[in-house]
Amino acid sequence: MDRPPGPLPKEKMKAVLEASVREFAEHGYAKASTNRITKGAGISKGLLFHYFGNKKNLYLYTLDACVENYLQYLSVHLKDLSPDLLERMLEISGIKIKMFMETPLMYRLVASAFTDPPWELKEEICARQNRIYSKQVPLILKDIDKSMFREDINHEKAIQLVLAAMEALSRRHTAAFRERADGGLAELPKIIDDLKEYVDILKYGIYTGRKRKELSLPE
């Protein structure tokens, strides 16, 4: 971000951001058109480049806004989380899926930026990814009750396994909802119930028998 886009009036800023998110989310970085963005935002071409310098910057700025929004959303909803890692992961997955349903374009922009970075932006995007990780992981792992974990397994590995599994399972659900204009929110409980079943299986592998009993799972 060479050019700090400070003094651009908030209203216009918002219009640009909205148009940008839509354009980049719908067409991807490569095929996104700055022309359409200016038209969508109702500003002139000159102004866009005056403030953002070039397409790359604009994309990065847009991505940052989405990431910020993402982190903000998480931090707002991540209250009173369970000390049980798997329960917490369930809660977090629910939050993420909800977020995806509420702001699908933003979510999609971030997701595609990370899974398929636009090549010439790899480095910059990677930095954002690390930033998210460094902010997200502590959020997820803070005050986890590790006494529940089996002692004969690598705790770090166990956590990574859970993260990976939940991420992959969640994606399967979100993938189906693309473009289905917010109609999906009603199905959120069903999705979470589904995830819950997977979580229960994971519990067998990760928690001690004693804990499992407390959680009243069948031995």
Partner DNA sequence: TATGAATGAGGGTTCATTCAT
Partner DNA sequence: GATGAATGAACCCTCATTCAT
Interaction between residue 49 and DNA (CB under 7 A)? yes
Partner whose binding site includes residue 77, from a copy of itself, DNA, none (CB under 5 to 8 Å by kind): none
Cα separation, 200 vs 204, in Å, equals: 7
Helix (H) or strand (E) holding 67: helix 55-77
Check residue 183 for interaction with DNA (CB under 7 A). Answer: no
Answer yes or no whether residue 134 interacts with a copy of itself by CB under 8 A: no
Residue 45 binds to DNA (criterion: CB under 7 A) = yes
- 79 is an interface residue for a copy of itself by CB under 8 A: no
Show the CA angle centred on residue 82, arms to residues 87 and 101, nearest 5°.
Answer: 65
Does 28 engage in binding with a copy of itself (CB under 8 A)? yes
Token pair of 157 as six digits? 């590995």
Helices 34-41 and 10-31 pack at an angle, to 10 degrees, of: 150
Q: Which stretch binds DNA (CB under 7 A): 39-47, 75-83, 110-118, 161-169?
A: 39-47
3-state secondary structure (DSSP) of residue 195: helix
Taking the least distance from each CB to DNA, the nearer of 9 and 183 is 9
Partners of 149 in beta bridges: 207
Two structure tokens written together for 163: 């993260």
Rounded least distance, CB 70 to DNA, Å: 24
Q: How far is the CB of 147 from a copy of itself (least distance, A)?
A: 17
Choose the one of DNA, a copy of itself, none that binds residue 98, judging by a C-beta under 5 to 8 angstroms depending on kind.
none
In sequence order, the β-bridge partners of residue 173 are: none
47 binding partner (options DNA, a copy of itself, none; Cβ < 5 to 8 Å by kind): DNA
Q: Which stretch binds a copy of itself (CB under 8 A): 9-17, 65-73, 90-98, 196-204?
A: 196-204
- What is the secondary structure of 79-140 as a DSSP string? -S--SSHHHHHHHHHHHHHHHHHHSHHHHHHHHHHHHS--STTHHHHHHHHHHHHHHHHHHH
Residues 64-83 that bind DNA (CB under 7 A): none
Number of residues that bind DNA (CB under 7 A): 22
Site residues (vs DNA, CB under 7 A): 7-9, 12, 31-36, 43-47, 49-51, 53-56
